[in-house]
Amino acid sequence: MIADEQSTKTFLDFFVDNALKEDVGEGDHTSQACIPADARSRARLLIKDPGVLAGVEVARHIFRKVDSTARLDVFFNDGQAVSAGDVGFEVECNTRALLKAERLVLNTMQRMTGIATMSNRFKFEVEDLPVKILDTRKTTPLIRFLEKWAVRLGGCTNYRFGLFDWIMIKDNHIDACGGIQPALERVAAYQKEHGLNLGVTLEVRNLVELYEALETGGFTRLLLDNFEIPLLREAVLTVHGRFETEASGGVNIHTVRQIAQTGVNYISVGALTHSAVSLDLSLKVAR
């Protein structure tokens, strides 16, 4: 995970620098043509859809990147519920810098707020049940850290950040390796050889594979992939708390509660990031 402050700042600096380079290029000719270099303005972030706000701290970082004297007056913090008509924050800074940062701030916050809002909806569906909703690696390349940040703000839980911080033996690994047992044995040998102690998730596709996995052992969590509800319930009863259980595959807002009621410990939901709809926000300069 890269949830620690220093890693987040490193990713954020890289993201902002390259996003500004992409958008601004050799310069914002429109603003340079019609805005005096020393002009200063104040603008408000207007909320146009209800949801869970996300990206305020990213916006602060962006504005201070383009103008070190920028000042934000925040009315709604990251993770707070907002309604259409609310003002998220007001920013005061150099006008050219404000207009340079405007689209990057909005694009980022709209995406993050959509994900936080989607995550919060899933959390709400199961908040009275002992289950955690997990995100996945189905994210936008190079902004995974922002999207996973938004998932946390919405009340759900980050799974692995990448291929390096958790071992997940999926169907393709099992088939390419020749079966569940050899895959688990090779993972155990690899961890020992490299001095690793990573969590291990093993995907099973049916009850036959489940029984084989239980006989073999050597993993942390069983990923019950695309199990029908009756089979999922039977699988959880069969595991009987010996290993963590996770349900995955085709989970949506209408099915997540029923899945949670089977007793699984975790439900991984790719839709948190790959299907979230951006919320409508705008940044308006005060006249």
Q: Which of 67, 125, 203, 209 is catalytic?
A: 203
From residue 106, alpha-carbon distances to 4, 39, 90 in Å are 25, 22, 13
Question: Which of 78, 102, 135, 225 is flagged as catalytic?
Answer: 225
Backbone φ, ψ for residue 151 (5° rounding): -60, -45
Residue 247: phi and psi, rounded to 5, are -100, 145
- Rg, C-alpha atoms of the chain: 23
Q: Look up 42 and say whether it is catalytic.
A: no
Whether 148 is catalytic is no
Stated as kind and residue range, the H or E segment containing 180 is helix 180-194
Can 185 be counted among the known catalytic residues?
Answer: no
> Is 203 part of the annotated catalytic residue set?
yes
Residues 6+ apart with CB under 8 A from 228: none
Torsion (CA) 255, 108, 21, 33 in degrees, nearest 10: 140
Q: 3-state DSSP call for residue 145?
A: helix
Can you tell me the distance from the alpha carbon of 73 to that of 88, in angstroms, rounded to the nearest whole number? 9
Nearest to 216 by CA among 152, 169, 279: 169
Catalytic residue at 209?
Answer: no
> Which of 44, 60, 64, 103 is labelled catalytic?
103
Long-range pairs of 179-182 with CB within 8 A, sequence gap ≥ 24: 180/204, 180/209, 180/212, 180/213, 180/216, 181/212, 181/216
Name the catalytic one among 42, 138, 233, 257. Answer: 138
Catalytic option among 132, 137, 170, 186: 170
Instruction: Indicate which residues carry an active-site annotation.
Output: 103, 138, 170, 203, 225
